[in-house]
Amino acid sequence: MVLGFGLASLTILICVKKPHVLRESGGGEAYGCLEQGWDTQSTLTVAGLGDFFSEQLSSSPQSLEEEFTPSSVNCDQSQPEYKLVKSVPGSEDEDGLCHCIVHLSNNLIPLKQLEQLQSIAQELMDKYNQELSRETPNYSLLRLELEGARKLVDQLMAKGEVCEAENLLSQLQSQVANASLTLKLLADSDQRSLCAFRQKVDVLEGRLSECERTKRQEDSGPPLPPGSCAHRGLQKVSRPFVVQLNWRGFSHKAGVWGRDSGPNPDSSLYWVAPLSSDDRYFDSYRLYKSYDDLVLMKNYKEWTMGYGDGSGNTVYESFMYFNYYGTHDIAKVNLSSNTLVLQRPLPSATHNNRFSYAGVSWKDIDFAGDEKGLWVLYATEESKGNLVVSRLNTSNLEVEKTWHTSQFKPALSGAFMACGVLYAIRPLSTRQEEIFYAFDTTTGREHHLSILLDKMLETLHGINYSPLDHKLYVYNDGYLVYYDLSFRTLKHRPARKVSWLSTVPNPVIPNKTSRP
């Protein structure tokens, strides 16, 4: 005998082996499914439930509740007495199994309750997971309670055991009630304290950035116009501003984000590309048309692709450039259509984690955009792992020119380009990095510097500079963070609008008369 039940309808399906129990009633139009003369095998299989159901079925619904007391069900009873319970119409299949359906009214058995509890537990679990995926305080207690509830449900569901069901069910009920209460308390208290906390932080942040602005203006004159190179190199880096956790969650520690570093000042395309949770595979990204959309996580376009390696990606003039998975190929994707438009090898570049950065794997080939164009940072066997910079022609990805630096790439934690100058970063501690080295591609000269960079978490994965706002976009162990960069002003010369795509070493300052 097989006994199954659908929780939703509480339909009991009973199937019985033909020889033992089939009884033709009358002219063979109907079968009674249950009868005296059950073999021991089948009664034992359903000992607990059998007792239970026979009780239920043999009595009239009114009297059932008094008759059914779970403590009287005895699982060890090897020869329970079965009577003909009820005659129900059934049908026979090819294997000689009789199928018949018995409908029980809902309130007779705890299955309905079990179902409800299960769905409540599931709901709470979902809510909990949702909360957890955001940034939340301590949910350990809730987790324990829900884990307990889930185990109980599993136990109940596993074998259809009903013997100890009442006990388990009341435990489950209490546990779910506890969890529900905890969640409510957490939600209430969090909302209030979180809001208050947010407001305080907002006020403080406002004041701080005000301070920083005035200080910067005192220090370094008027701010640089977008895309301007009218300065004498990097001077300092602000504290980190945390924007948010990446949209795929905590487990996506590696990734990269930024703003289109192309020269179009009207473009405010932001992009976020958390790598898959293996910290290597670049398989999807989101595009936002504005910073506000990014912060609010709305109006985005989400693409999946499935052929990138590491977090060296950059976006330049609405195209994304990246290292093609498992190769030393560089590739270009049209972001309007998410189509691969170009793929070609980067001559002598090493790949597959041969010379990646310190603490950041699979970033052998690292793209960078700046005021002067598109660059790629990598290492070769000939360079003995030292970092090499090449300028790329964006239309065909051919290398236009290559420079060799003296820095062993795996010793750096990252690098970026600004106004044709490579800046290299090394880790100082778990909380600080240092921009310690610069290589100017216009002069071919290198020099050492020391600009400290605070970090929230240990590893800086993607690092991208945007010439439009002079910000450094950093993917810090799953968090989107940016830094404001300040540059040393030109002496006795106020910064003016410049033709910032010019390839001549020094920016051309147009004549006053040449402007309207």
Judged by the rule CB under 6 A, the positions of this chain that interact with ligand NAG are 138, 140-141, 171, 174-175, 178, 334, 336-337, 341, 393, 395-396, 508, 510-511, 513-514
**In the complex, least distance from residue 503 CB atom to ligand NAG, rounded to whole angstroms:** 8
Q: How far is the CB of 86 from ligand NAG (least distance, A)?
A: 38
Q: CA–CA separation, 447 vs 444, rounded Å?
A: 10
- Separation between Cα atoms, residue 477 and residue 248, nearest integer Å: 12
How far apart CA 500 and CA 502 sit, in angstroms, is: 5
CB of 507 to ligand NAG, least distance (A): 11
Instruction: Provide the pairing of β-strand 281-288 with 414-418.
Output: unpaired
Listed in sequence order, the residues at least 6 apart from 20 whose beta carbon sits closer than 8 Å to its beta carbon are 37, 38, 39, 42
Give whichever of 335 and 360 is closer to ligand NAG, judged by the CB atom: 335
Q: Which is nearer to ligand NAG, 60 or 513 (CB)?
A: 513
Decide whether 299 or 503 has the Cβ nearer to ligand NAG: 503
CA 261 – CA 317 distance, rounded (Å):
7
Sheet of 300-309, strands arranged across? 255-259, 270-274, 281-288, 300-309
Q: How many whole angstroms separate alpha carbon 448 and alpha carbon 385? A: 20
Q: Rounded CA gap, 46 and 143, in Å?
A: 35
In the bound complex, what is the minimum distance in angstroms from residue 294's beta carbon to ligand NAG? 22
**145 vs 484, which CB is nearer to ligand NAG?**
145
User: Which residue(s) pair with 370 in the sheet?
Assistant: 373
Smallest distance, ligand NAG to C-beta of residue 141, A: 5
Least distance to ligand NAG, CB of residue 83, Å: 39
How buried is 48 (Cβ within 10 angstroms: 0-12 exposed, 13-18 middle, 19+ buried)?
A: buried
Of 175 and 407, the one with the shorter C-beta distance to ligand NAG is 175
**Closest to ligand NAG by CB, 180 or 350:** 180
CB 233 within 8 A of CB 421: yes
Q: What is the dihedral of CA 149, 154, 159, 165, to 10 degrees?
A: 10
Question: What are the DSSP calls for 157-177, one per residue?
Answer: HHH---TTHHHHHHHHHHHHH
> Based on CB atoms, which residue is closest to ligand NAG, 141 or 451?
141
Least distance from ligand NAG to the Cβ atom of residue 144, Å: 7
CB of 391 to ligand NAG, least distance (A): 9
Residue 204 DSSP SS3: helix
Of 192 and 447, CB closest to ligand NAG: 192
Strand runs labelled E in 419-495:
421-427, 432-440, 445-454, 460-466, 471-476, 479-489
The answer to whether residues 415 and 368 touch, using CB atoms and an 8 Å cutoff, is yes
Closest contact distance (angstroms) between CB of 448 and ligand NAG is 31
Nearer to ligand NAG, 178 or 343 (CB): 178
> How many Cα neighbours within 13 Å face the side chain of 190?
14
Distance, CA of 509 to CA of 500 (rounded, Å): 10
CB of 341 to ligand NAG, least distance (A): 5
CB of 39 to ligand NAG, least distance (A): 41
Distances (CA, A) of 255 to 281, 301, 376, 464, 465: 9, 17, 18, 11, 15
Q: Are 237 and 472 in contact (CB under 8 A)?
A: yes
Query: For residues 37 and 510, which CB has a smaller minimum distance to ligand NAG in the complex?
Result: 510
Residue (339 or 432) nearer to ligand NAG, CB: 339
